[in-house]
Copies of this chain bind each other. A is one copy, B any other.
Amino acid sequence: MSKEDLDLVKRYQKEIILLGKSKGLLEWDQLTHMPKKGINVRAEQKAYLSGLIHKKMTSDELFNAIKRLKEKKNLLDEEDNIMIKKLHRQLVKSRKLPAEFVEELSRTISLSMKAWEEARIKKDFSIFEPHLEKVIKLKRKEAEYINLPGHSYNSLLDDYEEGMTVEEILPILEKLKNDLIGIIKKIKSTDKYKKQKLVSLKKEFPREIQIEFFRDVIKRIGLDESFSRIDFSEHPCTYGIDPEDIRLTTNIRKSPLFSFGSSIHETGHGLYESGLPIKHRYDILCNAPSMGIHESQSRFWELMIGLNKPFWRFYFPKFNDKYKLNTTFDKWYEEINLIEPGNVRIETNEVFYNLHIILRFELELGLIEGKINVKDLPKIWNQKMKELIGIEPQNDVEGVLQDCHWSQGLFGYFPTYSLGTIYAAQIYNTLKKEILDIEKYIEKGDFGKISEWLKEKIHKHGTKYLAEDLIKKVCGEGLNPNALINYLNKKYSEVYGFKE
């Protein structure tokens, strides 16, 4: 009987995952290659596949089999037990939401996404406002239905960061905020900051050379063409269709660091996907434990590797030569690490980035607690920008309307970007302790040792451990912002010449 139940659960998962992979390809194609008018039928295709997936996920047959298996722990092996536990937790949560509620949320979000786009085009928050109000009302209701212990936001956060709570995050992000403000103060007080300006990054960077460079770095990090590819899309992203079919995207902008850096970032995600336990490709274990852990992999490569000296010891001579920069290593390294406050999260630097996240996190808490009214959002956004970043957006498109997340109901998602960056710094510290001469490899453009280490320590476990447990296992302690603060302090005290 439990053999039959286990087969049924695995069959359901495989079907759900095959549908999900097909939907993933439809989305990837939509971003990269689909002719414009294809959207008419594409929306229907995706909606239909989503419906099929939802139907399977909420099937009583599946849930009952999982419940029976949960009572028979001793008959299952370790991994099957983890799988059943995870599925059970997920289904118990999703079954708390009445079907009508799910449908209402889905309809509301469709309209809200359209309104957000229109509001951006017309630079008018009031178009989006009533939709966002509805979304937030429903997300508050969702939190009531899910009803995890502690802060009501926990029930939303859990979708992206299983087991993480406001109670744990709040003091950590509070400390991070204060320390970041401290570092920025020190940077701004230097002479170098006051006189800084871009020189090399003002040159021309031909498209073909940009493509050559990002292809090179993707390959060196470890994604080869037999199981991955890169295309262009408006916003860079990664689709891990399967560990053996990874799709990255990037975009060419004026600065050669955009396509290069975003490719490194996406390769971090892609490498993770490719290192997941392939024997579990058709079950829930072939996943990251959380969005924060996933982001830790992209941020690790983008920041800790891709913006630091050893890495540029390898790439600078090539950049200098191919782009005819006609500059020195020191000048280039300094210039690519110059810090300026900016209004737009995805264009900012590693020092300011987490303040953008903390701003959103604090607003989300206020909105979910009911302490902030949607109509006041633009004003509060701008006040907070002034307070945290030191500048104010010229309009709401550069301000409260800049990210798509809220229009899609993704409350609880933003903090995982900060968790990812914190984890990344912790992982980098551990790596340097475990492989003492790692910088020597990086300087030679040999990143294989790092990729192998990450696979062994993180990727291959899939979703076997919770994020916090995985980080403890790898780094010896749980979420701790000190590694990130120390990393930034050390790096920018050198770049700007202040005391750590």
Residues of A within 8 A of B (CB): 14-15, 18-19, 21-22, 25-26, 29, 33-38, 40-42, 44-45, 48-49, 52, 225-229, 231, 241-242, 244-246, 281-282
Q: Which 9 A-B pairs have the closest CB atoms?
A: A38-B245, A37-B244, A41-B242, A37-B227, A18-B48, A36-B226, A35-B227, A18-B45, A37-B226
| Given A21-B41, A22-B45, A37-B245, 16 more pairs with CB closer than 8 A | A15-B48, A18-B49, A25-B29, A29-B29, A33-B231, A35-B227, A35-B228, A35-B229, A35-B245, A36-B226, A38-B241, A38-B244, A40-B242, A40-B244, A41-B244, A42-B245
- On chain B, the residues within 8 Å of A245 by CB distance are 34-35, 37-38, 41-42
- Identify the closest chain B residue to A19 (Cβ): B48
- CB of A413 to closest CB in B, whole Å: 27
Q: How far is the CA of A17 from the CA of B244 in the complex (A)?
A: 28
Q: How far is the CA of A42 from the CA of B38 in the complex (A)?
A: 22
Copies in the assembly, this chain: 2
Instruction: Contact check, B35 vs A49: say whether CB atoms are below 8 A apart.
Output: no
- Identify the closest chain B residue to A282 (Cβ): B44
Q: How far is the CA of A36 from the CA of B34 in the complex (A)?
A: 21
- On chain B, the residues within 8 Å of A41 by CB distance are 18, 21, 241-242, 244-245, 281
Q: How far is the CA of A352 from the CA of B25 in the complex (A)?
A: 41
Instruction: Contact check, A33 vs B244: say whether CB atoms are below 8 A apart.
Output: no
Instruction: Contact check, A22 vs B33: say whether CB atoms are below 8 A apart.
Output: no
- On chain B, the residues within 8 Å of A38 by CB distance are 227, 241-242, 244-245
- On chain B, the residues within 8 Å of A34 by CB distance are 245
- On chain B, the residues within 8 Å of A26 by CB distance are 22, 25
- On chain B, the residues within 8 Å of A36 by CB distance are 225-227
- CB of A278 to closest CB in B, whole Å: 9
- Identify the closest chain B residue to A231 (Cβ): B33
- On chain B, the residues within 8 Å of A35 by CB distance are 225-229, 244-246
Q: How far is the CA of A244 from the CA of B34 in the complex (A)?
A: 10
- On chain B, the residues within 8 Å of A241 by CB distance are 38, 41
Complex A-B: 6 CB contacts under 8 Å: A15-B48, A18-B45, A25-B25, A35-B226, A36-B225, A38-B245
- On chain B, the residues within 8 Å of A25 by CB distance are 25-26, 29
Q: How far is the CA of A21 from the CA of B45 in the complex (A)?
A: 8
Q: How far is the CA of A277 from the CA of B227 in the complex (A)?
A: 39
- Identify the closest chain B residue to A21 (Cβ): B45
Among A38, A226, A246, max chain B CB count under 10 A is at A38
- On chain B, the residues within 8 Å of A49 by CB distance are 18, 22
- Identify the closest chain B residue to A40 (Cβ): B244
Q: How far is the CA of A29 from the CA of B22 in the complex (A)?
A: 11
- Identify the closest chain B residue to A38 (Cβ): B245
- On chain B, the residues within 8 Å of A227 by CB distance are 35-38
- CB of A302 to closest CB in B, whole Å: 23
- On chain B, the residues within 8 Å of A226 by CB distance are 35-37
- On chain B, the residues within 8 Å of A33 by CB distance are 33, 229, 231
- On chain B, the residues within 8 Å of A246 by CB distance are 35
Among A15, A33, A226, A246, max chain B CB count under 10 A is at A33
- CB of A52 to closest CB in B, whole Å: 8
Q: How far is the CA of A227 from the CA of B42 in the complex (A)?
A: 12
- CB of A59 to closest CB in B, whole Å: 15
Q: How far is the CA of A37 from the CA of B246 in the complex (A)?
A: 10
- Identify the closest chain B residue to A227 (Cβ): B37
Q: How far is the CA of A48 from the CA of B56 in the complex (A)?
A: 14
- CB of A250 to closest CB in B, whole Å: 16
- On chain B, the residues within 8 Å of A14 by CB distance are 44
- CB of A150 to closest CB in B, whole Å: 39
Q: How far is the CA of A228 from the CA of B38 in the complex (A)?
A: 9
- CB of A53 to closest CB in B, whole Å: 12
Answer whether A18 and B44 are a contact pair too, CB < 8 Å, given A25-B29, A26-B25: yes
- On chain B, the residues within 8 Å of A44 by CB distance are 14, 18, 282
